[in-house]
Structure 1
């Protein structure tokens, strides 16, 4: 018997399948995937259309399916982020341990190669063709050659493991980078506005074309989108607080069109640029060419007014 379950923390999981039982084609067609990690569906609301479509396809193919267990309860963004940080810390620790093992293996492989080289005749003595030592000499050369290959491979494995461990160590910092946080706030805000527009959107009628949605239709949509909006608003509040804290501690700048003016200078990615135009969400800056570049306010690292530039 197959079972499909969903929780916000664990994601959507199907259990009971077996290799060669015929379920693979059905699950693949419905965009399910296999893997040790379920990070792609964890911390998300259930996709009811995918779950019900998959269940119907499995039952139509003759599979026995247990009643669906869909928990629509969501965790707060605080809990979700704490879980992500904890999982990433565990991943970093595991990758660090793996890098240490690979480095130890690399050292051992190199020492083995040195030991094999030490068994070769001194001074690069050539192989004596037909001599009783010929076979032993050739085997010693092959052994040294093979151990060198294994040593090189082990060294490359150790370097790759160290690179992955180093990258993983910076993942959480990158996720909380001030510019990334500001961009995430913009995206979540756009998602909220898009969802709100869907609630009040006009309805298409084949005979009369588009017409305003009725109050009943809007109420039905509002109920359907309520869990998604609640989740998005909770995420927005969380990341806005993160950004406020970053600005308060000086990790992030809080520039806006109220603090930047045309003719001022702004520092972006370590370089100063003159402000050509101030927009609602971006600043247009002069370049060495005939065009201007646009940067978001979150990308501005420092600022000088036109008066300060003149005095300097």
Structure 2
């Protein structure tokens, strides 16, 4: 009996499959992946998200059509708060960093051991690069020693490359959480979530297409039905927006992020962007246009402004 379950914390998983039972082909065709760490098939990017009903129902129909017994779907639509989701991500990332650090240490130790073995093989070769004495009783032993040194060198080099890759992955994983909470990234995420909310709200108010009369305004009943359908998604998005807005507010309060806006930046002011000072050519709603020294200007989001000087302060500095 196959069982498809979904929870916000674990995502969408199917249990009861076995290697070679024929389910793999069906699941792959429906965008599932095998999770070695959990020992089960899962829907990618389903953890910490609402269930993707179209994938679940399509998969269930395909499995039943192929003759596989399927238990009733167990779909939990309860969402965890964004704070819980983020805490879980940070904890999982910390575990991943520890695992990758341990793997890098093992690979490095293996590489050192194999290279030491290679150096011992090299030490067994005749001194001074003595050539092989063809026909001499030492020929076979000499050739074997050279082959062994070559083989151990290859193993040592391969192990060294594997160790370097393991260290690279460990270093990259170590900065993932910091990168996720980078002030500019947080500001961009807030903009995206707000746009997603507006998009879903527009879907509720969208006109309805009629084959005979064309588009017409949706009725109150249709809007209410859409609102009920999109309510879980909107609740999740609004919770995410509140969480990240609080993160940004805390970053601004502690000085980790700047909080510039059209109210604080004006044409003629100087702003510091990626370490370089630029003069403001135009102030927009979400960005500032800065001079480049050429015939065009660059547009930069307010979150990317690192420092700011008013036109008056800049003029006084030049005068001094």
User: Shorter-normalised TM-score: what interval?
Assistant: over 0.9
SS at match of 1:34: strand
Contact 2:46 2:52 in 1 (8 A): no
Structural mapping, 1:9-158, within 5 Å: 9-36=9-36, 40-158=45-163
Q: Deviations over 1:224-265 (max 9, x none)?
A: 000000000000000000000000000000000100001111
Return the alpha-carbon distance in structure 2 between the equivalents of residues 136 and 56 of structure 1: 67
Deviation at 1:288, TM superposition (A): 2.3
Segments of 5+ residues of structure 2 without an aligned counterpart are: none
SS at match of 2:271: strand
1:185 aligned residue (168, 172, 190): 190
Q: Deviations over 1:148-172 (max 9, x none)?
A: 1111111111111000000000000
Q: Which moved more, 1:80-89 or 1:47-56?
A: 47-56
- TM-score, reference length from structure 2: 0.95
Return the alpha-carbon distance in structure 2 between the equivalents of residues 102 and 293 of structure 1: 46
**1:281 matched to 2:286:** yes
SS at match of 1:261: coil
Deviation at 1:146, TM superposition (A): 1.0
Deviation at 1:17, TM superposition (A): 2.2
Return the alpha-carbon distance in structure 1 between the equivalents of residues 24 and 107 of structure 2: 35
Q: Deviations over 1:24-60 (max 9, x none)?
A: 3332332222233666210000112221122122112
1:298 aligned residue (303, 308, 314): 303
Q: Which moved more, 1:286-295 or 1:221-230?
A: 286-295
Deviation at 1:199, TM superposition (A): 0.6
Deviation at 1:97, TM superposition (A): 0.3
Structural mapping, 1:159-308, within 5 Å: 159-308=164-313
Contact 2:207 2:217 in 1 (8 A): yes
Q: Which moved more, 1:16-25 or 1:223-232?
A: 16-25
| Aligned counterpart, 1:3 | 3
Deviation at 1:117, TM superposition (A): 0.8
Deviation at 1:126, TM superposition (A): 1.2
- TM-score, reference length from structure 1: 0.97
Return the alpha-carbon distance in structure 2 between the equivalents of residues 20 and 48 of structure 1: 27
SS at match of 2:111: helix
SS at match of 1:24: helix
Return the alpha-carbon distance in structure 2 between the equivalents of residues 143 and 27 of structure 1: 47
Segments of 5+ residues of structure 1 without an aligned counterpart are: none
Return the alpha-carbon distance in structure 2 between the equivalents of residues 98 and 288 of structure 1: 49
